Chains A and B, each alone.
Chain A
Amino acid sequence: LPAKFDWRDKAVVAPVQNQEACGSCWAFSVVGAMQSTHAIGGSQLEQLSVQQVLDCSYKNEGCSGGSTLRALSWLKQTRVKVVPRSEYPYKAKTGICHFFSQSHDGVAVKNFIAHDFSGREEAMMGQLVERGPLAAIVDAVSWQDYLGGIIQHHCSSQWSNHAVLVVGYNTMGDVPYWIVQNSWGTTWGDEGYVYIKIGGNICGIADSVAAVLL
């Protein structure tokens, strides 16, 4: 594995988004992974509709919350094509599901791989490099006050409550860390990113990690 790896360097990570006052992190995380995997496959990086997943993934509860694995399971089962964001823009509110024909442009999930990498974060680094950005769930209670730097304390595992996108890692310095894109806008954290120490399953970053196959 390379000592550091960042999918942003390959221009396959979309800009940081802002979920606003809507519990849609699970949809941002899944759609972020889809967008990047699609671009890694050779397509142009295109932002896809988070609102479509929010409205239509009936196994979840829209702005009231949801799970990345349930959203991926729904996307895989239904083979729904997620349309470009411009055609189904984000409203930060749960709405009525809009249907598109299968001939409509969009990206469908063929499969996904989900694992608990606790105690195996090096293997998780391998998955990130091999598969693309990873949808992960974390305990983000202490993130209310986060300004920047590498989180090494005050973060539990196995009490996950937030979904994010892991886009890279860096093991070059004294403290190896994951590079994580959040969906709280660019005014939060380091331009919308948070760094989490690798090893010890800090914030439960390795508890439930999914890669998308398109």
Chain B
Amino acid sequence: SFREQFHRRYEVNSEEFTRRHLYFQNATERHAYLNSLSAGPQSAKYGINRFSDLSQKEFRDLYLRASADRAPLFSGLKTEG
């Protein structure tokens, strides 16, 4: 159902399917851990989404590409410029 919902084209039992299946299983384990600290109706929820068949490395390499340049510490309203 994940493949159908997110339009994945890899075939069952293909090498890619096996790899993606493993990443998907890893994701469900992560979800259990991440949700274990959630308390209250407003807490963040973690679960299956379109990134669930990516490894954490693939996700980082594709989507987390911003580099951080440090900004000066805010010290009041008259520090602009």
Q: Are A115 and B71 in contact (CB under 8 A)?
A: yes
Per-residue contact bits, chain B 51-81, to A (CB 8 Å; 1 contact, 0 not) = 1101010011011111111111110010111
Residues of chain A lying within 8 A (CB to CB) of residue B74: 115-117, 120, 123-124
Q: Please tell me which one of the listed residues A64, A70, A113, A150 contacts residue B80 in the complex, with CB atoms under 8 A apart.
A: A113
Question: Could you tell me the dominant secondary structure of chain A's interface residues?
Answer: mixed
Q: How many chain A residues touch B (Cβ–Cβ < 8 Å)? A: 56
Residues of chain B lying within 8 A (CB to CB) of residue A174: 40, 42
Residues of chain B lying within 8 A (CB to CB) of residue A126: 77
A153-B37, A154-B37, A174-B40 as given contacts; A160 in contact with B71, CB under 8 Å: no
Q: Would you give the shortest CB distance from B80 to chain A, in whole angstroms?
A: 5
Q: Are A175 and B65 in contact (CB under 8 A)?
A: no
Q: Please tell me which one of the listed residues A67, A116, A146, A151 contacts residue B49 in the complex, with CB atoms under 8 A apart.
A: A146
Residues of chain B lying within 8 A (CB to CB) of residue A148: 44-45
A160 to B56, CA, bound (A): 16
Residues of chain B lying within 8 A (CB to CB) of residue A150: 42-44
A42 to B13, CA, bound (A): 57
A163 to B30, CA, bound (A): 23
Q: Would you give the shortest CB distance from B70 to chain A, in whole angstroms?
A: 7
Q: How many chain B residues touch A (Cβ–Cβ < 8 Å)? A: 38
Which has the most chain A C-beta neighbours within 10 Å: B43, B47, B68, B73? B68
Q: Are B42 and A160 in contact (CB under 8 A)?
A: no
Q: Are B72 and A115 in contact (CB under 8 A)?
A: yes
Residues of chain A lying within 8 A (CB to CB) of residue B62: 21, 23
**A65 lies within 8 A of chain B by Cβ:** yes
Using a CB-CB cutoff of 8 Å, which residues 3-33 of chain B contact chain A?
27, 30-31
Q: Would you give the shortest CB distance from A2 to chain B, in whole angstroms?
A: 17
**A184 lies within 8 A of chain B by Cβ:** yes
Q: Are B73 and A115 in contact (CB under 8 A)?
A: yes
Q: Are A184 and B69 in contact (CB under 8 A)?
A: no
A32 to B42, CA, bound (A): 27
A115-B79, A147-B46 as given contacts; A208 in contact with B68, CB under 8 Å: yes
Residues of chain B lying within 8 A (CB to CB) of residue A68: 66, 69
Residues of chain B lying within 8 A (CB to CB) of residue A77: none
Per-residue contact bits, chain A 145-167, to B (CB 8 Å; 1 contact, 0 not) = 11111111110000011110000
Q: Are A145 and B42 in contact (CB under 8 A)?
A: no
Binds B, one of A43-51, A83-91, A135-143: A135-143
**A69 lies within 8 A of chain B by Cβ:** yes
A145-B46, A147-B45, A174-B40 as given contacts; A65 in contact with B72, CB under 8 Å: no
A105 to B65, CA, bound (A): 30
Q: Which 6 A-B pairs have the closest CB atoms?
A: A23-B65, A65-B65, A161-B64, A115-B74, A149-B44, A114-B71
